[in-house]
Amino acid sequence: ARPSIKDGGGLSSLERAMEMGAITDEELFILLAES
């Protein structure tokens, strides 16, 4: 699941994960740094 793929709500999978509290800012930073 790539962050660029939009879900039905218009948020990327990564944004959705953040909204659900499933990912922390630190994890987000790591993902962005790897992309």
> Are 11 and 19 within 8 A, CB to CB?
yes
Q: What is the pLDDT of residue 4?
A: 56
Q: What is the pTM of this model?
A: 0.34
* Distance separating alpha carbons of residues 4 and 7, to the nearest angstrom: 10
pLDDT in tens, the chain (35 residues): 555 555 555 657 777 777 777 677 788 788 888 87
One-character DSSP codes across the chain: --TTSB-TTSSBHHHHHHHTT-S-HHHHHHHHHH-
